[in-house]
Structure 1
């Protein structure tokens, strides 16, 4: 009987985690085929704590002297989730897609549930090129990661594109079975990506509560892209951001009526338009500041 209960519990956990695992990629039929992924692979040592560092895998494409755009996947996910987007976007920017800590080819083996530590893993890539500060784009849980990076390194980030990002702590739901799945009894049986994703999601509500204090002070330009039919990260996160950001914040919304959560695959053109719009905004602002200084 005990074995039977364990199997039933594991089956329930598998169903829940199967839904979460959907963040890795789109439903069948949405993925494009671009053949060989024409990127350069990097591996850098990134400090993610006072006495802790890990290797972060990254994949780059585009001219190195162009503005850098750092692409941050959700949970579980990996950098390869941006493959079709990068292939479509071409050479207009210097794209860097990273494997977040705990996923893909990045270390560590276990979960890194702290948004601050996840953001610290981006620090080695926050290098302006030709005076152009990087744009960060985060999908799903990658959204709060890039917001945290902008909070912690405001002088190194130009602006943010938030694609179906999760921000409202009150919208986060953790099921009892997820805690059981995080126990030694069952966690060993889960693949690394699902095990680490489960631990991230269990911790996310508290992390978002802390993040809200920084959002209320944010002055960097933000473009938020969200589908009204997103059943993984509800559209209500848009209202939360509007309410939490300062009244004078530079905030633009791209509302996608009828669209779901899988924006890096089914809304690639919209995401690229957001990056281009933010790039123009940053260039115009820099020119305005230059003109004021020269007057």
Structure 2
């Protein structure tokens, strides 16, 4: 993996960011700017994404979760606020369930995969619908990161779709914030409500007027609610 650190290293709070499929740590640029004055913020490139080398074999979601947990222990800052977007929510959920000592709080932004619509073509169709009319910023950054993800994107998609996050949610003990863009086609409201209901200690937040790539378009609304939530005991 590749890890990029920004922000206040003297802060007691550490926020670690995990991207979605085809993406990389660069998509969190706006979110980092909203958080780096009050926390140490670490954005990751998972194996084979962004600047991280392509592994010989495409790792499963569970394997990537173990790698994230190993890095968090190496980081040595105690339990962190662990945030994932899209496929990244599957990785961080597994991390929180398999390695609860590494996670203080969990944030799931646009959680996948909707168990009712797991087929790859269906997922791609929904993503295409969601991106129709999106901002040029989202389209350009997303296209660049997908190209960087390489020729093994099909295998990575298979690893994402074979994972069953619904079997893991009940094992998450960390307080969890679940976020959805109001018009997110990839994460329909029914699935979002199911995710929120399956996690024992969770809260829902809907970003009005936003879609699946809400953190790329502008991270301000999510960052504001995240700060409010983190300030609560």
Select which of 190, 198, 201 maps to 2:154. Answer: 198
The alignment of Structure 1 onto Structure 2 pairs a total of residues equal to: 208
The DSSP-based 3-state class of the residue aligned with 2:106 is: strand
The DSSP-based 3-state class of the residue aligned with 2:152 is: helix
Does the 8 A contact of 1:227 with 1:235 survive in 2?
no
Question: Hey, what does 2:134 align to over in structure 1?
Answer: none
User: Alpha-carbon deviation of 1:63?
Assistant: 1.7
The DSSP-based 3-state class of the residue aligned with 2:34 is: helix
Give unmatched runs, 5+ long, in structure 1: 1-55, 179-189, 285-295
Pairing 1:263–2:208 present: no
| Larger gyration radius, structure 1 or structure 2 | 1
Mapped partners of 2:100, 2:108: distance in 1: 16
Pairing 1:58–2:30 present: no
Give unmatched runs, 5+ long, in structure 2: 125-145
Does the 8 A contact of 2:178 with 2:203 survive in 1?
yes
Structure showing greater relative contact order (alpha-carbon pairs closer than 8 Å, 6 or more residues apart): 2
Question: Hey, what does 2:228 align to over in structure 1?
Answer: 277
The DSSP-based 3-state class of the residue aligned with 1:60 is: strand
CA 1:201–1:236 in structure 2 vs 1: closer, same or farther (change >3 Å)? farther
**TM score, norm. by length of structure 2:** 0.79
Question: Hey, what does 2:138 align to over in structure 1?
Answer: none
CA 1:192–1:128 in structure 2 vs 1: closer, same or farther (change >3 Å)? closer
Select which of 71, 89, 99 maps to 1:153. Answer: 99
Question: Hey, what does 1:125 align to over in structure 2?
Answer: 72
Pairing 1:85–2:31 present: yes
Question: Hey, what does 2:131 align to over in structure 1?
Answer: none
Mapped partners of 1:218, 1:96: distance in 2: 22
The DSSP-based 3-state class of the residue aligned with 1:232 is: coil
Question: Hey, what does 2:135 align to over in structure 1?
Answer: none
Mapped partners of 1:254, 1:90: distance in 2: 22
Select which of 231, 236, 240 maps to 2:194. Answer: 240
Question: Hey, what does 2:90 align to over in structure 1?
Answer: 144
Does the 8 A contact of 1:233 with 1:261 survive in 2?
yes
User: Alpha-carbon deviation of 1:93?
Assistant: 0.8
CA 1:235–1:112 in structure 2 vs 1: closer, same or farther (change >3 Å)? farther
Question: Hey, what does 1:41 align to over in structure 2?
Answer: none
The DSSP-based 3-state class of the residue aligned with 2:149 is: helix
The DSSP-based 3-state class of the residue aligned with 1:216 is: helix
Mapped partners of 1:113, 1:239: distance in 2: 29
User: Alpha-carbon deviation of 1:111?
Assistant: 5.8
Does the 8 A contact of 1:70 with 1:136 survive in 2?
yes
The DSSP-based 3-state class of the residue aligned with 1:168 is: coil
User: Alpha-carbon deviation of 1:87?
Assistant: 2.3
Does the 8 A contact of 1:113 with 1:203 survive in 2?
yes
Mapped partners of 2:227, 2:7: distance in 1: 15
Mapped partners of 1:229, 1:194: distance in 2: 29
CA 1:255–1:103 in structure 2 vs 1: closer, same or farther (change >3 Å)? same
